[in-house]
Amino acid sequence: MTYRFEFRPYRRPFRQTIKTSYGVWKYREGIILKFTDEQGRSGFGEVAPLPWFGTETQAQAVAFCAQVPHQLSASNGFAILPTMPACKFGFEIALSNLSRDIHCGELEPHRCSALLPAGKGALSGWAALWAMGHRTFKWKIGVAPVSVELAWLHQLMKQLPLGAQLRLDANGGLDELSAHHWLDQCDRLGHRIEFIEQPLPPDRFIDLLKLAHRYQTPIALDESVTTLDQLKTHYFRGWRGIYVVKAAISGSPGRLKQFCADYPIDIVISSVFETDIGRQALIDLAVELSVLMPYEPQRVMGMGTQQWLPNDGLDDPDWEALWQRLDRIA
Ligand SMILES: [Mg+2]
């Protein structure tokens, strides 16, 4: 069996720039991969790097794709270095999609969390998302002084209907004192805060463990466990809290599934602003993981990101149409 390989880069401006504790993010760049087999079946994949999480850059991913032969046979496979986790994910998905013929439906809003605007914008931003059916919201913190953000949090919790759950994401941007302030306040809110994500930077693992033991509000690791190897390391060092897995940048989805089958963990599959191709791969993965390890409570996916991206056709579930449109953009 031989395959034809093609790729097309994309660049999507966010509708609003995204503010995180890393700074401002204006564009989502990535690459769509396409394999075509001898029967004319195609398999699409997506490379969606996130260099500030330690992945390859878009330029490195493009350079990698450019040296992959246009004609490949099953026997002349190619190796992808562990330093290129986004490529590893994209190529594995593309090849597995060659034999995927059923397109799953769209994820209902209550099964994925929706990203709120950062800062005070959350106060006016949640209602439209609630009306769309979202019940879990994610709010980036650590972008303004802690006293200011805690005041916004209290306003937000007064506004949110009962039944709403809030995930806080500090992106590793808090100092230890601020982390204590946040967790103390979250504990006082009962169980309305589902978890706080990466309050301290990845190099503060022992302090993260201490926080997890001291407070009732669960803590999730995200930046600490970007790749599967990092996830394994943290598991074996004793992390029994939540793992946020940005599957599109964590490397091989097959190896992730294998690890989760061997060691059931409390996991949230999360988006890094993929097109429909990457998004569908994450939904498939979450469904497979929920069968593999029926962890209770099953956490909704970190996927409500589409309202941040333009109507440029890259969320089209018809992937051939998506691919063709990309050609016109490039
Ligand atoms: Mg996060």
Q: For residues 186 and 278, what is the distance between their CA atoms, to the nearest angstrom?
A: 33
Does pLDDT of 17 surpass 60? yes
Does pLDDT of 296 surpass 70? no
Output the CA 5–ligand 1 centroid distance in Å.
33
Output the CA 9–ligand 1 centroid distance in Å.
25
pLDDT reported for residue 96? 92
pLDDT reported for residue 57? 96
Does pLDDT of 134 surpass 90? yes
Tell me how far CA of residue 240 lies from CA of 133, 166, 209, 219, 293, in angstroms.
31, 21, 9, 10, 15
Q: Is the dihedral of CA 171, 174, 178, 183 positive or negative?
A: positive
pLDDT reported for residue 270? 94
Place of tokens 């809110």: 189
Amino acid at 91: F
Six-digit token string for 312:
């440029």
Amino acid at 129: L
Determine which helix (DSSP H) or strand (DSSP E) holds 235, and give its type and residue range.
helix 228-236
Into which CATH architecture does domain 2-101+316-329 fall?
2-Layer Sandwich (3.30)
What mean pLDDT is reported for the chain? Answer: 91
Output the CA 121–ligand 1 centroid distance in Å.
18
Does pLDDT of 22 surpass 90? no
Six-digit token string for 11:
């660049």
Neighbours of 28 (CB within 10 A): 23
Output the CA 222–ligand 1 centroid distance in Å.
5
Q: Which positions are annotated as active-site residues?
A: 140, 246
pLDDT digits (tens, 9 = 90+) for 152-207: 999 999 999 998 999 999 999 999 999 999 999 999 998 899 999 999 999 999 99
262, HSE (Cβ side, Cα atoms, 13 Å)? 9
Output the CA 142–ligand 1 centroid distance in Å.
12
Output the CA 72–ligand 1 centroid distance in Å.
37
Q: For residues 206 and 82, what is the distance between their CA atoms, to the nearest angstrom?
A: 26
Measured in whole angstroms, how far is the alpha carbon of residue 277 from the centre of its chain? 14
Q: For residues 134 and 111, what is the distance between their CA atoms, to the nearest angstrom?
A: 8
Closest CA to 284 of 99, 74, 150, 28: 99
Does pLDDT of 20 surpass 80? no
Output the CA 291–ligand 1 centroid distance in Å.
24
Output the CA 197–ligand 1 centroid distance in Å.
6
In CATH, which of 3.20.20.120, 3.40.50.300, 3.40.190.10, 3.40.50.720 is domain 109-308?
3.20.20.120
Does pLDDT of 70 surpass 60? yes
Does pLDDT of 328 surpass 90? no
Which residue ranges make up each domain of the chain? 2-101+316-329, 109-308
Tell me how far CA of residue 17 lies from CA of 10, 12, 198, 310, in angstroms.
17, 11, 22, 12
Output the CA 169–ligand 1 centroid distance in Å.
5
104 in helix, strand or coil?
A: coil
pLDDT digits (tens, 9 = 90+) for 234-284: 999 999 999 999 999 999 999 999 999 999 899 999 999 999 999 999 999
Say what percent of the chain tops pLDDT 70: 94
pLDDT tier at 77, thresholds 50, 70, 90:
low
Give the environment of ion ligand 1: residues with CB less than 5 A.
169, 197, 222
| DSSP string of 131-197, one letter each residue | HHT--EEEEE-SSS-HHHHHHHHHHHHHHSPTT-EEEEE-TT---HHHHHHHHHHHHHTTTSEEEEE
pLDDT digits (tens, 9 = 90+) for 85-128: 999 999 999 999 998 766 666 678 888 899 898 899 999 999 99
Amino acid at 204: R
User: For 47-63, what is the mean pLDDT?
Assistant: 94
Neighbours of 97 (CB within 10 A): 23
